[in-house]
Amino acid sequence: MRPGGAVRAVAITAVLLVAAPTAVMPSVSALPRPVVDPTLVPTDGPPGPEQPMRQSNLCAPTTLTSAPDAAFPSPGFAMLNVSKAWQFSTGNGVTVALIDTGVTPGPRLPVIAGGDYVMGGDGLSDCDAHGTIVASVITAAPSGIRMPTPLPPNPPRPAPPAAPAVPPDGVAGVAPHATLISIRQSSRAFEPANPGDGGAHRKAGTVATLARAVVHAANTGAGVINVSVAACVSAADPLDQRAIAAAVWYAATVKDAVIVAAAGNQNEDGCAQNTVVGPTVAGGPRNWSGVTTVSSPSWFSDYVLSVGAVDATGAPVDRSLTGPWVGVAAPGTAIVGLSPQTGGPVNAYPPVRPGESAVKFWGTSFSAAYVSGVAALVRAKFPELSAHQVINRILRTAHNPPAGVDDRVGYGMVDPVAALTFSFPAGERTAPGAQTRVLTPAPPPPPPDGRAHSFALAFTAVVTGAALMVSLIARARRSR
């Protein structure tokens, strides 16, 4: 979660960082599964904003509070038994593209520039701190525990630069040997320089730039794409999402990237909670008919692994947005990461006003980061698997809820060790039934039948030739 304040975005255009308070949306009788038009994949090009942008807020500071204790591995790290997972894979050789608020690199967080859809920079600047914390959960090099041996050993990856001489801490990424690419696509600190919309307050990041960023991330060759942002709209009046639909289809099927997205948080701007039903209710436990809020890109579940949040005890977080697209869950509270300002451990934003408490990091953004790290571990361990087969492995090894699957946690909390060690068939290379939701372009019209035209031309030529012959014979007779 990030600081509150007066910032409110326009739901139809703003893609908001998934981090934490809104109106009740009208219910709808049924929400059709989304379809994809492959002809609408956005054209890739140099990343840049849709219009001139300006900085409107100060960059967000970060702080360290007493809980969770950053001297020890975070509760989520321990809950997922990541240190044991490192016996089988550390993500070596896998590239993770992070679409977020940018990442500020540091000695323990090396990052490759992927571009910037906010100000046209390189993506290596994070004014919100959100992207850097998310990146820390995915790939930060440990300091308080031993750096694992790169696995798989080939191809080798150089060890990260030595960390400065500071006290050890518990910050460690799930896949510390994965390569991270940062693409800045959103920010609460920037807004259009010329809004031109009657004064509505919009921040940087739209569904259109998100679609472009997904295509760009896929074209970098990333094996995993983390999308810790969500666009929430009413199911009764959804915006045009054809571009983002085509983008995730392209990334997952054409470029074979595992797309991991935050499910969203209740009370984020536009994110009203969906109704949770039990397995005995019609449509349950995957309640597409009861959806009132659509979270994008999560609802494109044929191509996206959507992640809900659980707390340090494994219980679902109440404000984690529910929906039939939620695939798995991961820790979304007690988050610790590296500060973009100092490079040291942090776990909160300072109080917004004097006398208030610090704002702890929480939300499905960080849950998605854990699962992106797991996806990197699995891709490194099983490079022959397709993107969908990697997702299938993560789903099948999760700790199921009582109903087997539900709209809060999907198939349950992710289990990295099980995902790396259990043996079972890989399954289909693409999502079953997905092709039935892909629009097939109409075939081009057949070429015109030229036979009648050719016959007419030949007949005309014959008639013309005969007339000319008759004329010549008549002229010859007169001349005798």
> The tokens of 89 are what?
């894979």
Nearest-10 Cα torsion for 217, 74, 140, 19: 30
Nearest-10 Cα torsion for 140, 145, 147, 152: -90
DSSP 8-state code for residue 253: I
Please name which of 273, 274, 288, 240 lies closest in space to residue 31, comparing C-alpha atoms: 288
> The tokens of 335 are what?
């988050």
Cα 82 to Cα 90, 174, 421: the distances in Å are 9, 6, 13
DSSP 8-state code for residue 310: E
Please name which of 280, 221, 263 lies closest in space to residue 93, comparing C-alpha atoms: 221
Q: 54-58: which pairs have CB atoms within 8 A and are 24 or more residues apart?
A: 54/190, 54/191, 54/192, 54/193, 55/127, 55/189, 55/190, 56/189, 56/190, 56/191, 57/7, 57/188, 57/189, 57/190, 58/189
**8 A C-beta contact, residue 124 and residue 113:** yes
CA distance 269 to 261: 17
The SS3 of residue 155 is coil
The SS3 of residue 460 is helix
Residues taking part in catalysis: 100, 130, 365
Helices 387-396 and 364-381 meet at what angle, rounded to 10? 110
Please name which of 366, 375, 368, 367 lies closest in space to residue 397, comparing C-alpha atoms: 375
Please name which of 5, 16, 102, 18 lies closest in space to residue 361, comparing C-alpha atoms: 18
Please name which of 208, 383, 385, 369 lies closest in space to residue 297, comparing C-alpha atoms: 208
Instruction: Indicate if the alpha-carbon torsion angle 41, 46, 50, 56 is positive or negative.
Output: positive
10 Å CB burial of residue 167 (0-12, 13-18, 19+) is: exposed
**8 A C-beta contact, residue 234 and residue 26:** yes
CA distance 188 to 182: 17
Query: What is the enclosing helix (H) or strand (E) of 329?
Result: strand 326-331
